[in-house]
Structure 1
Amino acid sequence: MTTLSTPLQRWFDTRGWQIHPHQQAMLDRASAPSLLLIAPTGGGKTMAGFLPTLTELGSAPEPGLHTLYVSPLKALAADIRRNLRTPVDEAGMAIRIEDRTGDTSATQKKRQRADPPHILLTTPESLALLTSYEDAPRMFAGLQRVIVDEIHALAESKRGDQLMLALARLQTLCPEMRRVGLSATVEDPQAIARFLARHPDPCEIILADPGPDPDIAMLTTDAPPPWSGGGAAYAIPAVLEEVRKHRTTLIFHNTRAQAEIFFHNLWLANDEGLPIGIHHGSLDRAQREKVEAAMVRGNLRAIVCTGSLDLGIDWGDVDLVIQVGAPKNVKRLVQRIGRANHRYNAPSKALLVPANRFEVVECVAALEAAKEHDLDGETRGPGPRDVLCQHILIAACSGPFCADALYAEMTSAGAYAGLTRAEFDDCLDFCATGGYALRAYDKWQRLMRRPDGLWQLRDPRSAQRIRMNIGTIQDTDTLKVRFRGRGGKPLGEIEESFAASLSQGDTFLMGGQIVRYEGLREMTVEVTRDPGRKPKIATFMGTKFATSTQLSQRILRMFQHDSWPELPDHTASWLALQREVSRLPQPGRLLVESFPHEAREHLCVYGFAGRNAQQTLGLLLTKRMEEMGLAPLGFVATDYATLIWGLDAVMDPAPLFDMAALEDGLEGWLAGNAVMKRTFRASATIAGLIERNTMGQRKTGRQATMSSDILYDTLLKYDPDHLLMRITREEAMRGLVDFSRIREMLDRVGDRIDTLRLSRVTPLAAPLFLEVGKVPVAGAADERLLAEEAQRLMDESGLAQIEIGAG
């Protein structure tokens, strides 16, 4: 058994602590090439990751970088540095610990490269930048260990792919480097282990005691949820009552706009003046840090937040988590639940608040999955090639490279293990020349092959431009918001597209305040306070989650029960009436309803494929209907269904779902569509074809879009098989349009399509008529009008006996 160093053991003894079994296991296996620890939130997994490092460094370590810690969040890196200083300082160990993120000063960054600390805490982007410098071999010469925290969050995005390519580079520089992954919520430990380890090396997995199950339930409210919408205003009194009963409550939302709306309504109802705050990624950094500091001090009773507080930061004395809106993903729910009672072997307490009637079903399904430890996750495909192109350019910045060696290095990263040499050469040619249609332009002639066979930058000065554009995060184009006047206080950022829609006098929510748009000055949105007006809500482009495949299948299985005692009466009665009037969707089958309503014919397709896929299905089905001589007029989509309306009834929908025809329709629709152009712009920026940052300035969203659109149109016309066009099609299919879920659904269903012709709107279809854009309601009376429209629809569908929620 490996023991702690003497100063560290004394520190544990003075506190009366003993190390947990999984922490001891990490010490005992410290020499393993790759090690993955899965431990519950509050289980001391970060300390477990660092114990071998602190033990190896001892009280008087030699100079040089020993351990690199990589976090998905800058704030998490800073938090870990603060927490790690306590044992190091109190144990009297002379260990230098520093973080390096986008917030670190240029002077400190320069010093860190010349004289690195013993432990450096950073992010994937900052690490990629460090590997691009010529002196990287000297800086990382003594590196012994890399710790990747919250690895599950990185494994789901291109940031993780970029990180693993950077680790492959570090492994070349430091062959004995050991890798450690830390995670709390993993549905497939073996998949994360393969992601972490150097291919084809094995990775050892340590599973800590998961501790007690969380205490999770649905929040009981006096009013039932409304039939549609995502604001959950109906639950404000019940949420406020829970805030009163607890020390600190985190109130999670799935989007920034919903967080702003909820915070505004909560504040209006907060007659006692309880201290509450709001935290999301569009707020000004100073405002976020002010809220974080107040949380650590325990000065806030509630914080309305988004995914910005998802990960492992230990924020004060949180004893309750409330999730507003269906979590869409069981893993995300478990991660958020873990923010409460952030202590080892203490059960977390959480409440779910469905935003609308269908989300009641989804929340119950998510609760059952969480209690059964049935986590969900989508299988990731091979590593994206736009990230690979960026890595080739990063490698060139650090000095001449051998293509054979770089290919071998890249294929040691798990996601790229299946990369063929032809695919690599394709990316190398693109980086060198820009590809067939662009090789005549000097701008994209970036690499050259020397007589000795090595590749290098054609112009060494281009290294600075490449470094300025490193990263895979594609921020929404935003504009700063600040109060008007000299030295006006900054509030945060809003999307450029939202700012363009504003006229002087328009009001919107920002940081919980109602502000009035006064104008645009030097690319800054100037506002004044206007607390007396009804706000025009800013639609922040936060992540729009789709319900996972596993959760959707669980809901379908729930529909097959004879009764639903686990559901509130109003929701159980709704489903029972759907079964009586029509039919409930079933696993392995596709339910399609058609019915007339208000002189229009309607088709409702219950695909349960997630919002993106259902939206794409609506586009493709309406295109097919046009080809077949039918007359579709429009559609709306939710996570579970697509509702199409038009002039003609569809009596036999089966031909609409011909997979070959749908794929042809998708290719044709994507070719000139804005979705493709947006996807191309993102991939072209990551791959280095488009530079957002240039010397001393950053292109505006409009400038970047114009240059991107010109390039896209040029390649579409002259070189449609260009590498970037192929990458764009792959990315669009996988991400924005989620066509893989449509294909998976139709493969599973086959010819088992249940078509029902009905005389009126059905109970399950009725809420789709209330989706945004279908029922035009606006102004001060919008909630009342929406409630009246809901009542009329439910009366028509036979739901008059069920109480209607107006929230």
Structure 2
Amino acid sequence: MPTPRNSAPQRKKKFVAVTKNDTAPPVTVRIDNWFASQGWRSFPFQRQAWLELKRGRSGLVHATTGAGKTYALWLGALAAFADGVAERPKAQALTVIWLTPMRALGADTLRSLKVALEALDVPWTAGARTGDTPASERAAQGRRLPTVLVTTPESLSLLLAQANAAEAFSSLKLVVADEWHELLGTKRGVQVQLALARLRRSSPGLAVWGLSATLGNLPEAMDALLGPAHAAAGVLVQGKTPKRMLIDTLLPPRIERFPWAGHLGLAMLPAVIAELEQNRSTLVFINTRSQAERWYQALLAARPDWAGDIALHHGSLARETRDWVEFGLKNGLLRAVVSTSSLDLGVDFLPVDRVLQIGSPKGVARLLQRAGRSGHAPGRPSRVTLVPTHSLELVEAAAVRAAAQAGRIESRHPPEKPLDVLVQHLVTIALGTGFVPDELLNEVREAHSYRHLTDAEWQWALDFVTRGGASLAAYPDYRRVAVDEHGIWRVPDARLARRHRMSIGTIVSDAAMRVKFWGKGGRGGDLGSIDEGFIARLNPGDAFLFAGRLLELVRTHEMTAYVKPGTGGKGVTPRWNGSKMPLSSELARALVEQLDEAAAGRFTSPEMRAVAPLLAIQAEWSALPVSNCLLAETWRSREGTHLFLYPFAGRHVHLGVASLLAWRAGKLQPASFSMAVNDYGLELLSAEAIDWASLFDADLFATDTLMHDVVASLNASELAQRRFREIARVSGLIFQGFPGAPKSNRQLQASSGLFFDVFRKYDPDNLLLAQADAEVLRQELDLGRLEETLTRLQALPLQLMTLKRPSPFSFPLLVERFRERLSTEKLADRIARMVQDLERAAGGDAVPSNEAVQEQTAFGVETPQRRAKRPKKVSRPLPLLSQVKPRE
């Protein structure tokens, strides 16, 4: 069988399939001979892809991770375009562009492509062009591109900005968009769409193919890739090769009946260590960089003998560090790597035989993608083990496995008409070959996201790049494009051209400071980057954890934080900006189905049997949230009247629902509300007594005035201004600075805020403002899902329960609200008291000490000595859920 992408084994003897003369056999024969020499066999979906490429068709290959998708397109490209070349020329013209969403994946893909070139003795050259490519190699590529070029969307746009772009791409035959599902729903995917429309102009017969492994909306994904003019002729090639996927859960030693999110689940550390000891190589995936830093430190503290055998990997570490970790994984030199999504994608780590997922993956596709990093070869099983950080994640674990086995994978949808990306593309093309507006408009409309672009929107974009729109016409820096004497629109100013080249791309992050060791030579040099806002809160001498080390801040200078090795015990963990991942719609639906089963007394999985005591308390004190009714709980405390609601729609939607309900309820009964949300539900708290039973009859979930009410209920202007910062950078309104002298985050915020205020006052019809409003509703509040949720809730019968004390499902919402206004120490004290009170009311089973809660809130590790100091409690058995009488 064939190797998967990026994992061709080393051949014991070199197989030479051709001779250096005119009698060289066709590439298809060489492929058959190569496969036979390795004992492989091709899969049907690979042969179908080879045939469609030979026919000149375009399409999408969808198959499981590690099934051989890369060879499906790469060997097909060689068979289609490399035949008939008998001698090896000095350089073959550019024929294939292989787009990758990550530089690490690009480097790994290039190695795999070269393996096939060598084995088949195909006279092609291969190279990469990414942010990691040395300047000397980029200069050589400027003179002549290799036959196959592995690159990123940003680097491809830079090539389109060259004056000789049309000539350089004239010989292009094929573009492959690798991991298309990763790009599809982002502005980077829109950038790819526009680039493909431009490349088709230089190469009218261009074939375009995508590769994807975890995607629910395949027809839409292919339409977005191929564009409206070519989608109907596209071919969907699906790999039906069987892939064993084992998904299990590491059950905790004890079940918290009153769980709360926010701690790292380090109570599971001994169990995780035991699992790592049993495997040759394991990837430990964690959702955030802060959490990854803490888990890595905890593993080293518990097993100092593993120093050098385990490693840390995330996107903020220096490239040299990441390269070292990836090399160690590929060569089986590391026992375990603690990683974030930086290792999600298809880099091949063949020695990895196990994946651990700490905490909920929050989505089915994300879990399958990470599971595929183990057993990354056809025929090899993939295994992922979920490690819950609190008890309710056991329900999520059972749900995600059920959804994965049923093939219920999330869809990803391309953005509609992002004008900031269009403005950037116009300047890019003007900087390259130049353009004529009417011709370029037809080309832009060949991109799926701009298929409905209106003439008025097009004219606005042209006006914006030529004079900055209605409010910036007096400023020369915004006259980026002008018409030359031949009627071609070009960038007339060399300074503006340089600035644009350095700003191409749609990846926008907050300003980051480099972290380097203090002193000449240092003891490791560059360590990576940290958000500027985090460093700004530290004083010289403060200690923090980064890159798996305890560091002490020495000084900051010109966006660089100089550090030295820290001494002593704990340091603070960096917090990187970014929203929490919300629960996906597919996983949320599967989670409620698990609760439906529990309500019927059916506990068919180990996870649900383990969490049964928690669910029994929930059913005894309130009711279980199920799919055929809407559970609402009310509770009176010293703080006021609490409402807990459980739509199970994810934290983004719940923020919109909570704000909407508070605004509508406040109109009916004057009151002020504070709120908290998590992935399961929301809390509204009012100091006044609220009769929620009567308010729910007042059509609180109506959708006919949804847009108006959502905007009115939220601080929409503040949200839009925050979103506008990204739009301003992508569209070129603000410049992030030159290499080595970037602008600070405060400067960028001030600049974008100034533009936002100017446009609001003097150019209210500016379409970038409208885009900011639309992105807030679509991305931050998920307006479409919000409307679906309200429609569903409106149709459900209400089950309103009055609580004597917080239920297991409402307790995490209380903690979520406390966290916003209490320090870590005060939060620990508050949680400890509440948990002890609730556990006594529930029977006094395994009451945690205040010390244990402090360790969780401080992200510390509970030692056996501390655990031994806990007082022994006598517990009574709880009734089975099936024995609990339903509440009226």
Q: Which TM-score band (shorter chain)?
A: over 0.9
Aligned length: 805
What SS does the aligned partner of 2:396 have?
helix
Instruction: For residue 173 of structure 1, report the CA deviation from its aligned partner.
Output: 0.8
Counterpart in the other structure of 2:77? 53
Indicate how the Cα distance of structure 1 residues 356 and 421 shifts in structure 2: closer, same or farther if over 3 A, else same: same
Instruction: Provide, for residues 239-272 of structure 1, a one-character-per-residue CA deviation record: whole Å limited to 9, x for no partner.
Output: 1111111110001111111111111112212254
Indicate how the Cα distance of structure 1 residues 110 and 773 shifts in structure 2: closer, same or farther if over 3 A, else same: farther
Alignment of 1:214 with 2:249, yes or no, is no
Q: Is the 8 A contact 2:52 2:58 kept in 1?
A: no
More displaced, 643-652 or 148-157? 643-652
Instruction: For residue 439 of structure 1, report the CA deviation from its aligned partner.
Output: 2.6
Tell me which amino acid in the other structure corresponds to 2:122.
M
Tell me which amino acid in the other structure corresponds to 1:762.
S
Alignment of 1:258 with 2:291, yes or no, is yes
Instruction: For residue 93 of structure 1, report the CA deviation from its aligned partner.
Output: 3.1
Instruction: Provide, for residues 500-550 of structure 1, a one-character-per-residue CA deviation record: whole Å limited to 9, x for no partner.
Output: 122333322212212223332332112232353222121123563111112
Q: Is the 8 A contact 1:69 1:121 kept in 2?
A: yes
Cα distance in 2, alignment partners of residues 629 and 508 from structure 1 = 48
Counterpart in the other structure of 2:596? 560
Instruction: Provide, for residues 434-465 of structure 1, a one-character-per-residue CA deviation record: whole Å limited to 9, x for no partner.
Output: 22222333322223346775433354552222
Instruction: For residue 726 of structure 1, report the CA deviation from its aligned partner.
Output: 0.4
Question: Pairwise mapping of residues 537-556 of structure 1 onto structure 2 (< 5 A)?
Answer: 537-541=573-577, 544-556=580-592
Cα distance in 1, alignment partners of residues 225 and 359 from structure 2 = 33
Given the alignment, which residue of 201, 204, 216 partners 1:175?
204
Counterpart in the other structure of 1:336? 370
Cα distance in 2, alignment partners of residues 748 and 679 from structure 1 = 29
Question: What's the RMSD between the two structures over aligned residues?
Answer: 2.6
Given the alignment, which residue of 116, 130, 135 partners 1:106?
135
Counterpart in the other structure of 1:237? 270
Instruction: For residue 558 of structure 1, report the CA deviation from its aligned partner.
Output: 2.4
Instruction: For residue 664 of structure 1, report the CA deviation from its aligned partner.
Output: 3.5
Counterpart in the other structure of 2:314? 280
Cα distance in 2, alignment partners of residues 668 and 691 from structure 1 = 33
Indicate how the Cα distance of structure 1 residues 172 and 579 shifts in structure 2: closer, same or farther if over 3 A, else same: same
Q: Is the 8 A contact 1:620 1:666 kept in 2?
A: yes
What SS does the aligned partner of 1:560 have?
helix
Indicate how the Cα distance of structure 1 residues 669 and 493 shifts in structure 2: closer, same or farther if over 3 A, else same: farther
Instruction: For residue 3 of structure 1, report the CA deviation from its aligned partner.
Output: 6.8
More displaced, 755-764 or 230-239? 755-764
Counterpart in the other structure of 1:724? 768
Alignment of 1:683 with 2:727, yes or no, is yes
Given the alignment, which residue of 253, 257, 261 partners 1:228?
261
Instruction: For residue 141 of structure 1, report the CA deviation from its aligned partner.
Output: 1.2
Counterpart in the other structure of 1:270? 303
Q: Is the 8 A contact 2:289 2:576 kept in 1?
A: yes
Counterpart in the other structure of 1:641? 681
Counterpart in the other structure of 1:521? 557
Instruction: For residue 674 of structure 1, report the CA deviation from its aligned partner.
Output: 3.7
Question: Pairwise mapping of residues 82-481 of structure 1 onto structure 2 (< 5 A)?
Answer: 82-201=111-230, 202-224=233-255, 226-270=259-303, 272-273=305-306, 275-449=309-483, 454-459=488-493, 461-481=495-515
Instruction: Provide, for residues 595-646 of structure 1, a one-character-per-residue CA deviation record: whole Å limited to 9, x for no partner.
Output: 1123422122223221222234444444555555544353221111122223
Cα distance in 1, alignment partners of residues 594 and 127 from structure 2 = 51
Q: Which has the larger radius of gyration?
A: 2
Tell me which amino acid in the other structure corresponds to 2:711.
E
Cα distance in 2, alignment partners of residues 219 and 368 from structure 1 = 16
Q: Is the 8 A contact 1:438 1:444 kept in 2?
A: yes
Cα distance in 2, alignment partners of residues 715 and 588 from structure 1 = 48
Indicate how the Cα distance of structure 1 residues 223 and 436 shifts in structure 2: closer, same or farther if over 3 A, else same: same
Indicate how the Cα distance of structure 1 residues 660 and 440 shifts in structure 2: closer, same or farther if over 3 A, else same: farther
Given the alignment, which residue of 569, 576, 584 partners 2:624?
584
Instruction: For residue 392 of structure 1, report the CA deviation from its aligned partner.
Output: 1.4
Cα distance in 1, alignment partners of residues 446 and 476 from structure 2 = 33
Q: Is the 8 A contact 2:483 2:489 kept in 1?
A: yes
Cα distance in 2, alignment partners of residues 377 and 343 from structure 1 = 25
Tell me which amino acid in the other structure corresponds to 2:542.
D
Indicate how the Cα distance of structure 1 residues 99 and 364 shifts in structure 2: closer, same or farther if over 3 A, else same: same
Instruction: Provide, for residues 126-169 of structure 1, a one-character-per-residue CA deviation record: whole Å limited to 9, x for no partner.
Output: 00111111100111110011111111111121111101110110
Which 5+ residue runs of structure 2 have no aligned equivalent? 1-24, 857-888
Instruction: For residue 581 of structure 1, report the CA deviation from its aligned partner.
Output: 2.5
Tell me which amino acid in the other structure corresponds to 1:217.
D
Cα distance in 2, alignment partners of residues 205 and 10 from structure 1 = 28
Tell me which amino acid in the other structure corresponds to 2:521.
G
Instruction: Provide, for residues 67-93 of structure 1, a one-character-per-residue CA deviation record: whole Å limited to 9, x for no partner.
Output: 110000111111111222223224433
Given the alignment, which residue of 822, 836, 840 partners 1:791?
836
Tell me which amino acid in the other structure corresponds to 2:785.
R
Cα distance in 2, alignment partners of residues 298 and 569 from structure 1 = 37
More displaced, 45-54 or 767-776? 767-776
Cα distance in 2, alignment partners of residues 383 and 354 from structure 1 = 40
Cα distance in 1, alignment partners of residues 82 and 539 from structure 2 = 60
Instruction: Provide, for residues 478-515 of structure 1, a one-character-per-residue CA deviation record: whole Å limited to 9, x for no partner.
Output: 11112222333222211111111223333222122122
Given the alignment, which residue of 23, 27, 31 partners 2:50?
27
Cα distance in 2, alignment partners of residues 528 and 630 from structure 1 = 56
Cα distance in 2, alignment partners of residues 799 and 772 from structure 1 = 26
Instruction: For residue 675 of structure 1, report the CA deviation from its aligned partner.
Output: 2.6
Tell me which amino acid in the other structure corresponds to 1:403.
P
Q: Is the 8 A contact 1:114 1:139 kept in 2?
A: no
Counterpart in the other structure of 2:11? none
Alignment of 1:632 with 2:672, yes or no, is yes
Q: Is the 8 A contact 1:575 1:764 kept in 2?
A: no
Alignment of 1:737 with 2:781, yes or no, is yes
What SS does the aligned partner of 2:471 have?
helix
Question: Pairwise mapping of residues 489-500 of structure 1 onto structure 2 (< 5 A)?
Answer: 489-500=525-536
Counterpart in the other structure of 2:5? none
Cα distance in 2, alignment partners of residues 96 and 387 from structure 1 = 32
Given the alignment, which residue of 603, 626, 637 partners 2:643?
603
Tell me which amino acid in the other structure corresponds to 1:149.
D
Instruction: For residue 689 of structure 1, report the CA deviation from its aligned partner.
Output: 1.8
Cα distance in 2, alignment partners of residues 456 and 521 from structure 1 = 39
Which 5+ residue runs of structure 1 have no aligned equivalent? none
Tell me which amino acid in the other structure corresponds to 1:689.
L
Tell me which amino acid in the other structure corresponds to 1:701.
N
Q: Is the 8 A contact 1:255 1:543 kept in 2?
A: no
TM-score (normalizing by structure 2):
0.86
Q: Is the 8 A contact 1:230 1:258 kept in 2?
A: no
Alignment of 1:748 with 2:792, yes or no, is yes
Tell me which amino acid in the other structure corresponds to 1:291.
V
Q: Is the 8 A contact 2:706 2:787 kept in 1?
A: no
Q: Is the 8 A contact 1:68 1:121 kept in 2?
A: yes
Indicate how the Cα distance of structure 1 residues 91 and 550 shifts in structure 2: closer, same or farther if over 3 A, else same: closer
Q: Is the 8 A contact 1:323 1:352 kept in 2?
A: yes
Instruction: For residue 24 of structure 1, report the CA deviation from its aligned partner.
Output: 1.6
Q: Is the 8 A contact 2:95 2:173 kept in 1?
A: yes
Cα distance in 2, alignment partners of residues 540 and 168 from structure 1 = 36
What SS does the aligned partner of 1:29 have?
helix
Q: Is the 8 A contact 2:396 2:591 kept in 1?
A: yes
More displaced, 114-123 or 655-664? 655-664
What SS does the aligned partner of 1:639 have?
coil
Cα distance in 1, alignment partners of residues 601 and 453 from structure 2 = 51
